[in-house]
Amino acid sequence: MPNYSLKPEKSTLRFLTNVLKLARQAISEEFGEELAQKTKIELSRKMYFTLGRCWPERPHIAYNLAWVVLNKENPEAVRELVLHEVCHLGDRTHGDKFAGLCDKFQIKTSGSPYDPDYPGAKELPPVSWVVCMNCGDYNGLVFSTRLDPEKVKEKLTGIVCRSCGKELEYRELSDRSFRNFSQKLRKLRLYGTKTWESLKSISAQ
């Protein structure tokens, strides 16, 4: 059995390099060198709510860079995430084949339903969105913050939407509420309308 392990490193860059090496090693050992070379593996700055994603049809694996760096002193948790996503190359769901691959890699995330909490892992700060509740434009302002929400609101008071001119509203969004909000934005674009109220009337037809 190959040694799929990570160890703590003083150098963040070295740790991140080892994360990518571990993913490619695991792919090579389980799925072959050709797929290992073909698969795009990246540490993404654009993942706000998910820790990792795998698209086996591309093939492409992305890991949440902020979470990996935050947990560089907990290499076991990072290892579990790395190998979890590698397993999805063989099964994009959390089905029996996925569970079998998890067992083969000796990681704990083979249960069903999958529990995304990694033992001892630090959590990222909440993601904040500044959105226009009139037209749905989020003005490109997406950020993580450790500031108190009230202080953030004070800083943003008076900022208006670039699209409709209404004052923007600050929100902290959980994973679920982000998905709901994203669905509303997609519907706005689909129906070619500008406001939540007109979306309601169109959707009801």
Tell me the per-residue pLDDT of 24-70, one tens digit each, with 9 for 90 and over.
Answer: 999 999 999 999 999 999 999 877 668 899 999 999 999 999 899 98
Confidence at residue 114, expressed as pLDDT on a 0 to 100 scale: 39
Spans of all domains in the chain: 12-105, 127-203
Give me the mean pLDDT over the 89-114 stretch.
78
Decide which of 119 and 111 is more confident: 119
Confidence at residue 3, expressed as pLDDT on a 0 to 100 scale: 78
Give me the mean pLDDT over the 76-82 stretch.
92
**CATH, domain 12-105, list 3.40.50.620, 3.30.2010.10, 3.30.565.10, 3.10.310.50:** 3.30.2010.10
Give me the mean pLDDT over the 63-89 stretch.
92
Confidence at residue 193, expressed as pLDDT on a 0 to 100 scale: 47
Indicate yes or no: pTM above 0.75. Answer: no
Buried b or exposed e, range 130-155, using 16+ CB within 10 angstroms = bbbebbbbeeeeeeeeeeeeeebeee
Residue 142 has pLDDT above 70, yes or no: no
Give me the mean pLDDT over the 128-149 stretch.
60
Handedness of CA 23, 25, 31, 35 (dihedral sign): positive
Residue 16 has pLDDT above 80, yes or no: yes
Confidence at residue 196, expressed as pLDDT on a 0 to 100 scale: 44
Tell me the per-residue pLDDT of 145-200, one tens digit each, with 9 for 90 and over.
Answer: 555 667 766 766 777 777 788 777 666 655 455 556 556 655 555 555 444 444 44
What is the C-alpha separation between 127 and 106, in angstroms, rounded?
A: 32
CB 158 within 8 A of CB 167: yes
Give me the mean pLDDT over the 100-124 stretch.
69
Decide which of 97 and 116 is more confident: 97
Q: Which residue has the tokens 């797929």?
A: 35
Give me the mean pLDDT over the 122-135 stretch.
68
CB 129 within 8 A of CB 142: yes
